[in-house]
Amino acid sequence: MSQSIIPTNLMKQALRNGQPVIGTMVAEFRQPAVMQLLKNAGFQAVIIDNEHGPFSIETIADLSRTARYIGLTPIVRVPDLAYPYLAQSLDAGAQGIMLPRVYTPDQVQQAVEIMKYPPLGRRGCALSRGQMDFKSGSLADTMATANDES
């Protein structure tokens, strides 16, 4: 098996090891430098609030990439449970999704199907995107690791 090109989800890794994770939410600041400020303040994860915040997908990509590069786990709070919001946020580099207004197990299942690649879901695959730091590698390994890390 070749090495995955998907960056490790540091928040998920810490939680698997029983360690706490301290995070915060960004709803106004669109400059990637804010991620460095948060890292220096001791945060390990950041929620980019795209439900109430003024973020374009380009801004989400810039914030997510910067966060990952410096060791923060980027999570995007999407405006709604809809394929474009979830898939584009993950493709842009988010390592997790925060869903608003999810009330039923069916909605949770729908979200999983959107966020996971086959065979676990129905997410489409675009190689060498921001989530992969623009690297290329084995499609099967990349999809399997992305399913595990998101």
Tell me the CA distances in angstroms from 52 to 7, 30, 46, 125, 141, one per residue in order: 27, 13, 15, 28, 35
State in Å, rounded, how far the first CA of the chain is from the last one. Answer: 20
Tell me the CA distances in angstroms from 49 to 25, 75, 76, 86, one per residue in order: 7, 9, 6, 13
Catalytic residue among 8, 37, 52, 58: 52
Structure tokens at 71: 């060791």
Rounded CA separation 133/98 (Å)? 22
Task: Specify whether 138 is catalytic.
Answer: no
Annotated catalytic residues are 52
